[in-house]
Structure 1
Amino acid sequence: MPKFQFEAMDATGQEIRDVIEAATQEEAEQTIRQMGYYITRIAPQKEKKEKTAKAKSRKTFSIGRVNAKTLTTFTKQLSVLQDAGLPILRSLKILEAQAKPSLFGSLKNCLIDVIEEIEGGATLSEAMAKAPKAFDRLYVNMVKAGEAGGALEVILRRLAEFQERSLWLKRKVKGALVYPIAVIVFACLILTFIMIKIVPQFQKIFEEFETDLPVPTQILINVSQTVIHWWFLLPGIPLGIWLFIKLVNMFPYCRFGWDLFKLRLPIFGQLVEKNIIARTTRTLGTLVASGVPILEALTITRDTATNAVFERLYQRVLDAIREGETIAKPLKDNARPGFHPVTAFWFFFFLGGPIGLLLYLTRWNNPIMEDIAINMVDVGEETGELDTMLYKIADNYDEEVAIITESLLSLFEPVLIIVLGCMVGFIVIALFLPLIALIQKLSG
């Protein structure tokens, strides 16, 4: 007997999606009405192979994940359509139709897959879970909580606000980095040109007149010859260090040491630490406010930390809660990661040997989460407003990250100009010292 897939609304306005068997579509509609439902859409159920082939024909080649800006816009638009009372399937089809194909992270392809899954009887969260290039665990679990609580439009609005806030911070940091990066790239190009084209011309003059070269000039010529003959190896130095770090970090113990090194760095470590705290507390607050169970919320928060030190911290909080403790106590008990040999090695390697090691020894026992943040979590648990307190912590740390970033860049720009000025000054002095001696020799 033919099957008909339908969407309808019951007497309370709740959306119903189901499949019914009937000899004809008219008979199916009559049966649905007898059940007390108002039909909004009905169509013969297509065969899976037919639907899959049709969906694949509409998809384009794409690689990578959907970018944050595109996903944020989609979430806001879906929230608006749900507020307007449109069925979820129709909302998704509207957004899929207006989405543009993209080579890098195509949202359109993901929506085609989601629509196909929903038409096959899956819920929105189940369908989104099968499109990981667009929807991560945080997104899927929040949608799942919204479906369970019957407040999907509220959850989507909250999720859009979360994404907008995260996107705002990323844009602020990236925008602040544009100028110094542009200056560094331009300076490197100019210095490379000087080393390859200008310095060799002066070297020929000095050799023709057999001029005695002072130490700065000899250093400059040696650097120039190195750049000319071994230029293809120069990019290999930072690339080799990067590959070595990646290789070492394949081992969990070493990855923990590297991530702890980033947190213990002077000034920059604070920036990394506060950024992670802001992101994880906002994630946890959003999940708790959306009704996601605390164990699941902490698991997702742990997985989104992207730092082994904080992953271990949240895992220990998770273990403590399973044993009946609160969140604040294990946060405080485990806020000090302790001494780590790999971290000490990186300080020695990158920050001047014994000086770097001494610097680490003065910082190794600092907590990675401040008491004020832990106390706010404690108050939130006692008053039953944990999500509100987590939002406040995240807002506070977001502002601190923005302030620290701006302060560092305002300091970095004049330092960069001074360093470049010193380099140019060294080149000028190194080239003109023998020229002065040569002029004196010729005039004498």
Structure 2
Amino acid sequence: MPAFEYVALDTGGKRSRGYLNADSEVAARRELRRRNLAPLKVGRAEGKRVRSAGVSLSLSRPRNLGRRDLMVFTRQLASLIEAGIPVEETLGLLSRQAETPALRRVLSSARSRVQEGGRLADALGDHPHSFPAVYRAMVSAGESAGGLGRVLNRLADYLEKADVIRRKIQAALIYPAALAVTAIAVVSALLVFIVPRIAEQFEGTGVSLPLPTRLMISLSGLLQEYGVVLLAGLAMCVLLALFALRSEPARHQRDRLLRGLPVTGGWTRDMEAARFARTMAILIQSGAVLPDALRASGRAAGNRAFAGTLEAVVADVETGTGLSEALRKSDWFPGLLVHMVAAGERSGALGDMFDRAAHQLEQDVDGRTATAMNLLEPAIIITMGAIVTGIILSILLPILRLNTLALG
């Protein structure tokens, strides 16, 4: 259904603008009159440009909501719905108060869909790139169970916690990344500018250069002759790798490889297990059916190999296998999670046990992440020191040999 942009007057004579979905411009004007709005201007949204707060927005390629917009919207929506305000009125209020054109466009469209009798989850489904599948699944479960406000509050907590962890990791990586770039620049400068000048001093001396010195001089010559070609080739390889990773099989292989690496494998497993447990806790406590909750958790997974594992779990559960037994068959799920799920199945408190397991797993992931970040900086410093020491030794060895010959 096409989207229309409108400018209209309400019963109080106040001018308002927004978007709605309709079959035609006539239907759009009819819908505006049904809402007690007097249309002043109605036009197709596609291909036009709207300026709002000094920002130009192309409606032919609308922007998606960012993480910050999604978090703020979810928290505000939860607060208003729990206060007893209807969904349609809540969306209209948030749309008028939206700070970004993208959020205003999405909320106006969702409000129009709700006004037409659709559910909020279906309205959000019109914008799949702004609202992930697991987000819509949680909203749908909340609507079905009659606890939409409670579910949205849990969802907002989940989004905010994930954002805090993401920001913490990004902040922790800034200094090591800057250190690594500096180290590469220093080593490259030594090899390209310093080593060749020192190597010139050994020419014509008749001294047999040690193996480390010959290797260093050869590497320096290689960088001088083909440095630009090597850099261009490296950039091309990175671009080709990024292009290849757009395909689903390549992503699946990459994720499977990450799971099998000795250092990142355990961390990847625990991180995906923690995300799975948190998603399952919210969905089950919201009243979602177990197979549907498992499918939504699979769509929320960041690792394709893990999502494939959950597909096998769903198949086992639908054939009558217990959830804990289905999870035990895979090596993706820690023993703690499997045992707590089994306890939840016996006690009938599966959602609560998922919540406890998620809390414990998240603490473990936070601890391992903090440890890894603390070890990364000294590891880079030690590596840089070892490389510089090797360069210095390769320079000093022939000097020491010359001194020995001179004294002899």
For the structure 1 residues 114 and 249, does the alpha-carbon distance in structure 2 shift closer, same or farther, using more than 3 Å as the test? Answer: closer
Tell me the residue number matched to 2:256.
Answer: 260
**Mapped partners of 2:268, 2:367: distance in 1:** 13
State TM-score, norm by structure 1: 0.72
**Mapped partners of 2:372, 2:83: distance in 1:** 45
**Mapped partners of 2:403, 2:316: distance in 1:** 79
For the structure 1 residues 205 and 43, does the alpha-carbon distance in structure 2 shift closer, same or farther, using more than 3 Å as the test? Answer: farther
Count, aligned residues: 369
**Mapped partners of 2:236, 2:63: distance in 1:** 23
Deviation at 1:65, TM superposition (A): 4.6
Tell me the residue number matched to 2:25.
Answer: none
Tell me the residue number matched to 1:319.
Answer: 315
The answer (yes or no) to whether the contact 1:60–1:101 under 8 Å persists in 2 is no
Unaligned runs of 5+ in 1: 1-5, 7-40, 336-366
Deviation at 1:53, TM superposition (A): 7.0
Aligned: 1:76 with 2:101: no
The RMSD of aligned alpha carbons is 3.5
Tell me the residue number matched to 1:33.
Answer: none
SS at match of 1:224: helix
Deviation at 1:190, TM superposition (A): 1.7
**Mapped partners of 1:327, 1:48: distance in 2:** 56
Aligned: 1:57 with 2:73: no
Aligned: 1:423 with 2:387: yes
Deviation at 1:283, TM superposition (A): 0.9
Tell me the residue number matched to 1:138.
Answer: 134
Deviation at 1:179, TM superposition (A): 2.4
For the structure 1 residues 185 and 112, does the alpha-carbon distance in structure 2 shift closer, same or farther, using more than 3 Å as the test? Answer: farther
Tell me the residue number matched to 2:175.
Answer: 179
| 2:303 paired residue among 302, 307, 310 | 307
Deviation at 1:151, TM superposition (A): 2.6
For the structure 1 residues 293 and 185, does the alpha-carbon distance in structure 2 shift closer, same or farther, using more than 3 Å as the test? Answer: same
Deviations 1:391-440 (A, max 9, x none): 11111111111111222233333332222111111112222334455678
The answer (yes or no) to whether the contact 1:107–1:134 under 8 Å persists in 2 is no
Tell me the residue number matched to 2:21.
Answer: none
| 1:381 paired residue among 345, 359, 365 | 345
Deviation at 1:131, TM superposition (A): 0.9
Instruction: Give matches, 1:142-161, under 5 Å.
Output: 142-161=138-157
State TM-score, norm by structure 2: 0.78
Deviation at 1:375, TM superposition (A): 1.5
For the structure 1 residues 183 and 147, does the alpha-carbon distance in structure 2 shift closer, same or farther, using more than 3 Å as the test? Answer: same
The answer (yes or no) to whether the contact 2:270–2:334 under 8 Å persists in 1 is no
Aligned: 1:200 with 2:196: yes
Aligned: 1:406 with 2:370: yes
Deviation at 1:86, TM superposition (A): 3.3
The answer (yes or no) to whether the contact 2:134–2:299 under 8 Å persists in 1 is no
**Mapped partners of 1:241, 1:99: distance in 2:** 39
Deviation at 1:135, TM superposition (A): 0.5
Tell me the residue number matched to 1:126.
Answer: 122
**Mapped partners of 1:64, 1:295: distance in 2:** 33
Deviation at 1:165, TM superposition (A): 2.4
For the structure 1 residues 80 and 409, does the alpha-carbon distance in structure 2 shift closer, same or farther, using more than 3 Å as the test? Answer: same
Unaligned runs of 5+ in 2: 1-9, 11-33
For the structure 1 residues 207 and 117, does the alpha-carbon distance in structure 2 shift closer, same or farther, using more than 3 Å as the test? Answer: farther
SS at match of 2:278: helix
**Mapped partners of 2:378, 2:368: distance in 1:** 16
Deviations 1:323-365 (A, max 9, x none): 2332112112x21xxxxxxxxxxxxxxxxxxxxxxxxxxxxxx
For the structure 1 residues 51 and 261, does the alpha-carbon distance in structure 2 shift closer, same or farther, using more than 3 Å as the test? Answer: closer
Tell me the residue number matched to 1:43.
Answer: 36
For the structure 1 residues 185 and 110, does the alpha-carbon distance in structure 2 shift closer, same or farther, using more than 3 Å as the test? Answer: farther
Deviation at 1:157, TM superposition (A): 0.6
Tell me the residue number matched to 1:236.
Answer: 233
**Mapped partners of 1:57, 1:89: distance in 2:** 24
Paired letter, 1:397: L
Paired letter, 2:374: S
Deviations 1:107-145 (A, max 9, x none): 344334323434554332221101112101111122222
Q: Percent identity?
A: 28
SS at match of 1:60: strand
The answer (yes or no) to whether the contact 1:283–1:301 under 8 Å persists in 2 is yes
**Mapped partners of 1:51, 1:249: distance in 2:** 33
Deviation at 1:442, TM superposition (A): 8.7
Residues 43-52 or 106-115, more deviating? 43-52
**Mapped partners of 2:41, 2:318: distance in 1:** 42
Instruction: Give matches, 1:228-377, under 5 Å.
Output: 228-232=224-228, 233-234=230-231, 236-237=233-234, 240=237, 243=240, 247=244, 250=247, 252=249, 258-332=254-328, 334-335=329-330, 367-377=331-341
SS at match of 2:57: coil
For the structure 1 residues 442 and 109, does the alpha-carbon distance in structure 2 shift closer, same or farther, using more than 3 Å as the test? Answer: farther
For the structure 1 residues 96 and 203, does the alpha-carbon distance in structure 2 shift closer, same or farther, using more than 3 Å as the test? Answer: farther
For the structure 1 residues 235 and 269, does the alpha-carbon distance in structure 2 shift closer, same or farther, using more than 3 Å as the test? Answer: farther
| 1:189 paired residue among 182, 185, 198 | 185
